[in-house]
Structure 1
Amino acid sequence: MNLSLPENKRLRFLRWFDFRSGRLGMIAYILNRVTAIGLVVYLYLHLAVLSILAGGPAQWDAFVQIARSPLFLTLDVILLAGILIHGLNGLRIALTGFGVGVRGQKPLFVAFMLVAAVALIAGALKIFAG
């Protein structure tokens, strides 16, 4: 008796990351989960950084110098991307839950992601411009 699962069932979860299938709903699902995890991680990091305030002005000023580095500015842009993608996708899900745009979920997702891209570009320019 063979108790092992067929290959396609054992590795089924890998299909989550196969974007070639063109399933836009799956891409939206993955983006929502990944950005949610990223935002939760950021929340804990943010709380840890706020603890630097207890070290006094000198320690805070040293951190601000580090936070103005290109690496941290790039991380700010990534954070902005996560906020925009998660927020707008969440808005799409909420609208769909209320019965608005149920038949047009894919165009609504694409439109919201285009809005996110434009806002991300504008935000990145603002972040790196100072």
Structure 2
Amino acid sequence: MKADKHNSKGFWDWFNPAGRDAGGWAFILNRISALGLAFYLYLHLFVLGKLAQGPEAFDQFIAAAKSPLYTIGELLVIAAALYHGLNGVRLVLNSFSIGVPRQKQMFYTALLLTVIVTILFAARMFTAP
């Protein structure tokens, strides 16, 4: 029996925003933040590997890391971690049947808190000496 291609879901369907409600967006953003954080983990391990190459190699990396582009990348990691963690709390509460009727409001609260805290981090990061 062949699967109907219109009913089968593939990898890229996780990220398709068409016809999604708040729960669908929460799902998409959770997957994107998870993939971003997993990528960051490997990048972090690569940077730590610079320590094994000696102080000169690490100092070169630190000099490059002071660029605004790198700071924006760090800010994206902070935003992804905040959203992923807050959405995880929402999902745990849902698992225990806490706040189930308010899932939409909890999602928007997680988004709002992510934006506010990310802005606070950005203000500190871009104004630090």
TM-score of the aligned structures, taking structure 2 as reference length: 0.86
Q: Which runs of 5+ in 2 are unaligned?
A: none
The farther-off stretch of 9-18 and 55-64 is 9-18
Q: Give the number of the structure whose alpha-carbon radius of gyration is greater.
A: 1
Q: Is the 8 A contact 1:88 1:112 kept in 2?
A: yes
Superposition pairs for residues 57-76 of structure 1, below 5 Å?
A: 57-76=55-74
Show the counterpart of 1:94.
Answer: 92
Does residue 85 (structure 1) correspond to residue 83 (structure 2)? The answer is yes
Does residue 52 (structure 1) correspond to residue 50 (structure 2)? The answer is yes
Provide the aligned C-alpha RMSD in A.
Answer: 2.1
Runs of 4+ in 1 over 4 A off after TM superposition: 3-6, 10-16
1:30-56 CA-partner distances (Å, limit 9, x unpaired): 111111111111101101110101122
Describe the SS at the equivalent of 1:100.
Answer: coil
Residues 83 and 51 (structure 1 numbering): CA distance in 2 closer, same or farther, change over 3 Å? same
Q: Which runs of 5+ in 1 are unaligned?
A: none
Between structures 1 and 2, the one with greater helix share: 1
Q: Percent identity?
A: 37
Query: Which letter does structure 1 place at the counterpart of 2:17?
Result: D
Show the counterpart of 1:32.
Answer: 30
TM-score of the aligned structures, taking structure 1 as reference length: 0.85
Matched pairs, number:
126
